[in-house]
Structure 1
Amino acid sequence: MKLTIWGAARQVTGSMHLLQLEDYNILVDCGLDYEKDTYQEENQYFPFDPSDIDVVILTHAHIDHSGNLPTLIRMGFEGQILCTPPTADLTELLLLDSVQIFLSKQHKSKSKGRRGRGSGTGPQPLYLQKHVMDTVERFVTIGFHRDFRLNGNVSLTFIPVGHLLGAAAVVLTVQDQGREKKIAFTGDIGRNNYPVLVNPEPIPQVDYLVSESTYGGKIHSSDVSLEQKLVETINESCVKFPGRLIIPAFSIGRTQSLVYALNQIFSKGLLPPVKIFVDSPMAEIATDIYRRHHDLVNDEAKEFYKQKGDEFEFEELSYVNDKKESLSISNYHEPCIIISSAGMLEGGRIQDHLYYNIQNYYCTILFIGYCAKGTLGNRLLRGDPIIRLRNRDLMVYATIQQTDLLSGHGDHNDLVNMVKHQDPAQLKRVFLVHGEDKSTQSLSEALSEIGYQVSIPEKGEVFEL
């Protein structure tokens, strides 16, 4: 049995791991690697023949894990894609959105060329809607904790790990040359007591573990609860002063958890009513998917539904559909909360709200997620006094805040505790992926100190198991 790490090696994006058995090849995740500006060109070729892959196993829907599946199919993959039911639904939504992003970049480049600034050629889309539909047809959905036999020598079990609705760790039991071997891939590990999502479950004993390390060496805030932070921020920005609170949030996952947290706050009467706009068509569709798979939300959310109704719908809340309605929010002069995507401010309707409010002293912008270096969100968080938007330099007068209380990733302690469910005497090796060097190294040192054998693979590194 041979393991090759083809993605998310010493970086966060582009998860892709190849497990080769005798006459059978398994690919775990097939994500977009968007660490570079040229990511569309970087992702159009694979370091193996896609037609040689027999099956793909998808841990969850996020684009850095699922986003290159249509390219794999376009280049010759003919097998099934195994995942949980919510992962199939959310992945379709995200892949269709990726097509729109590709086409938008191409359109902007062509427009640039017509105006005489640049060639206007632009990158060709990695894939189109047809390729996404071809991908969706390959999905075979499997519930959690169900033993699914891939062939005579390999069986699969999905274990819930929080992070996103339907997200799973993959446990493979393999008969290899007369011996049984078990290998698990964590995907992305969530955190305990996260709104809407279940807590990550322990992974059963395996021989090899491929683990994410995103927050290695980092500890999430614990001095204040999410409810306290939101109440305090809303009170300061919308109640004491007649201002507005803008929350950039990813449409899938983060927005649903935030909406539920706000529903709890206002249903308890912790604040006077404040109008809330969710300005993201994708978020509304994703919320319907959460409703469709309501049996997989956590017990607290299920109980809330029994007692008070839909977690994602309440009196103060409005979902904004068309662009005209979105633009009209700028003329809403009462205090309000605006939730919009994208979370790092790199496109989407959030840029409209930013454009009209960044110079408003009575506006607060609350970041609830990670902002990668080079993004507009990162520039605001580091304190840039001027930003450029729509070819204008805008002074930053709005208040900028950030909290990690809605981060969907488990922190250093969560990751260590996840591995500690494995007996060091039986776990032959931990492979750390999906993390920047500093984070991965911190987690590696912590695990080594308590007796685990750890490797930090390079991209393309091969391991005989």
Structure 2
Amino acid sequence: MKITFWGAAKQVTGSMTLLEFDDEYRVLIDCGTDLERENNPEKTRYEYGIFPFDPSLINLVILTHAHIDHSGQIPNLYREGFEGQVLCTKATMDLSELLLLDSASLNQRKFKMIHDSKKRSKKKKDIDSRELYLDRQVKEAIENFVPIAFDQRFKFKDNGYLTFIPAGHLLGAAHVYIEFWEDGRKKTLGFSGDIGRKNYPLLVDPQPLPPVDYLITETTYGDRLHIDQGEAEVLLADIIQKACIDVPGRLIIPSFSVGRTQAMLYTLNKLYTEKGFTPIKVFTDSPLAKASSRVYERSAKLLNKPARAFLEENESLFDFENLIYLESNQASKAVSNHAEPCIIISASGMVQGGRIEHHIEANISNPYATILMVGYASEGTLGWKLLNGERKELSIRGQKLPVNATIMRIDVFSGHGDFKDLTNFVTSQDAGHLKKVFLVHGEHQTMNNFKITLEQSGYTQVEIPDKGQTFEI
């Protein structure tokens, strides 16, 4: 078999790994959007259009989970000639449909921008319309998704089996365990997907892989621990007390609509239902978050035991007194005039596009406002600027505004396992049996640091692949 790393190589996003078996059967594990490349006007041009390989030669896609940096290019794969199926869990299929349709909606607006710019000027624009799919391409792709249950050994080719193992991180997220036979010998390959963390709200703990010959693992938090180690309810309650009760202010929380928002709404529900916390109006400003929450409740059997017990007793994971979902842009903007203390949860988590930009713009200069960052933000985004350094003013949507709001951060809602979790995931494998470990999905320096840690623990065959690099196993 040959393994070629076409994405998330020495960077975080764009997961895409090609497996070429000796019988010429080709499997793509994940087919994600490269967000680093998307933000770079000088995009790479490939012989096969937007892909570095011929999509018509791919036989199968295996999808670890729904996040766009793992699923976002699947509609384009079909458009460019792929005719096979996508194997994933049922929850991943449901969430992928929502996320891909949301991307298609954004693409529709980009098409309009391109059309309008052509009317005004003949200058070349940075937006590459070849990568913009619409609703119909998403629906055609989803028709070819095939849901596979966790822990079910599934034959995907002659002498080839896969098993999805719970990874935590996101509803439906899976590690992939592959067994195959070549030259009369059995070989095994493990792919981590994104590794979750223990005791995360709603989600089960990540499970270990069976022993494998070759391991491909993510390294997002490969050289750092989570800062906040306490219970989510306690930490969030303390912040709300300071931001909305001790001082009658408003709390603005940039959050990803799928996964992160559900964890926070569930935590708020527990605070109000079980802890007797003062009910404060919570505005959830994301139609995608509302739709995703319905998927979580339909998939309750996949959640952890405390969440299932809470749902059985309270009939809802997310609905509570004073929770208001904002559907329209008009309703979103009207919240700026809400005079009472409140919490506003809005996408995107990196404060890069979406309705959250309006909320930050409206509140960044308000000394009675608190902006709470709850996750990772890529360098260059407004979220990154909020997280890094003391600033007297910030440029938001073309205007410079004084920073009078309180900026806070908390990482208890991060869905990624940290250095300890990643180390445990790899070291659950026998160093004497493991032939090779490949590090992906992380910043290059983080990968180097994690490689040193593994080598010190006896794992000497560790590789950090370049983009496009091929290995024979």
TM over 0.5: yes
Query: Aligned equivalents of 2:94 and 2:314: distance in 1?
Result: 27
- 1:123 deviation in Å? 2.7
Asked if 1:5 is matched to 2:10, the reply is: no
Deviation digits for residues 158-203 of structure 1 (CA, Å, limit 9, x no counterpart): 0000000000011110011110000011100000000011100011
Q: Is the 8 A contact 1:103 1:125 kept in 2?
A: no
Which one of the candidate residues 150, 156, 169 is aligned to 1:144?
150
SS in 2 for 1:150: strand
CA distance in structure 2 between the partners assigned to 1:42 and 1:32 by the alignment: 13
Give the alignment's TM-score, normalised by structure 1.
0.96
Displacement after TM superposition at 1:448 (Å): 1.1
* Alignment check: 8 A CA contact 2:41 2:126 kept: no
1:195-234 alignment runs, 5 A limit = 195-234=201-240
1:34 match: 35
Q: Normalising by structure 2, what TM-score? A: 0.95
Instruction: Work out which of the residue numbers 399, 403, 409 in structure 2 matches 1:396.
Output: 403
d(CA) in 2 for partners of 1:294, 1:180: 36
Deviation string 1:315-337 (CA, Å, 9 cap, x unpaired) is 12111112222222112111000
- Contact 1:280/1:341, CA 8 A, preserved across alignment: yes
Q: Identity of aligned pairs, percent?
A: 48
The alpha-carbon deviation at position 284 of structure 1 amounts to 0.3
Find the counterpart in structure 1 of residue 446 from structure 2. 439
Deviation at 1:109, TM superposition (A): 4.6
Q: Tell me whether 260-269 or 235-244 shows the greater mean CA deviation.
A: 260-269
Equivalence for 2:340: 334
SS of residue matched to 2:279:
coil
The one-letter code sitting in structure 1 at the alignment partner of 2:134 is L
**C-alpha separation between the residues in 2 aligned to 1:319 and 1:146?**
37
Distance between the aligned counterparts of 2:134 and 2:312, measured in 1?
42
Q: Which residue of 1 aligns with 2:163?
A: 157
What CA distance in whole angstroms lies between the structure 2 residues aligned with 1:223 and 1:168? 24
In 1: Cα distance, 2:241 partner to 2:104 partner: 39
SS of equivalent to 2:351: coil
Question: Aligned to 2:250, which of 244, 261, 274?
Answer: 244
The 3 A distance-change label for structure 1 pair 306 and 121 is closer
SS at match of 1:11: coil
Partner of 1:45: 50
Structure 1 residue 74: deviation in Å? 0.8
Query: Offset of 1:96 from its aligned partner?
Result: 1.2
2:129 corresponds to: 124
> What is residue 303 of structure 1 aligned with on the other side?
309
The amino acid that maps onto 2:12 is V
Q: Distance in 2 between matches of 1:39 and 1:58?
A: 28
1:200 to 1:285, Cα distance in 2 relative to 1, 3 A: same
Q: What secondary structure is seen at the aligned counterpart in 1 of 2:271?
A: helix
Aligned to 1:56: 61
Alignment of 1:56-95 (within 5 A): 56-95=61-100
Task: State the distance in 2 between where 1:173 and 1:116 align.
Answer: 55
Q: 1:102 & 1:166 partners in 2: Cα distance?
A: 26
Per-residue CA deviations over 1:10-44 (Å, capped at 9, x if unaligned) read 10111111111122111101111121324795485
In structure 1, distance between residues paired with 2:398 and 2:470: 47
User: 1:30·1:65 contact (CA, 8 Å) conserved in 2?
Assistant: yes
Change (3 A) 1:274 1:45: same
Question: 2:291 — aligned with what?
Answer: 285
Secondary structure of the equivalent of 2:293? helix
More deviation, 278-287/448-457? 448-457
Shift of the 80–386 alpha-carbon distance from structure 1 to 2, 3 Å rule, reads same
C-alpha displacement at 1:105, in angstroms? 2.9
- The structural deviation recorded for 1:390 is 3.5
- Runs of at least 5 residues in structure 1 that lack an aligned partner in the other structure: none
Structure 2, gaps ≥5 residues long: none
* Match 1:457 to one of 459, 465, 468: 465
**Within 2, Cα distance between the matches of 1:173 and 1:273?**
52
Please state whether the residue corresponding to 1:448 is helix, strand or coil. helix
Give the root-mean-square deviation of aligned CA atoms: 1.8
Are residue 369 (structure 1) and residue 365 (structure 2) matched?
Answer: no
The residue matched to 1:215 in structure 2 has which SS?
Answer: coil
Write out aligned runs for 1:376-395 (5 A): 376-382=382-388, 383-395=390-402
Cα separation, partners in 2 of 1:131 and 1:229, compared to 1, 3 Å: same
Cα offset, 1:238, TM superposition: 0.5
Between the aligned partners of 2:333 and 2:419, the Cα distance in structure 1 is: 41
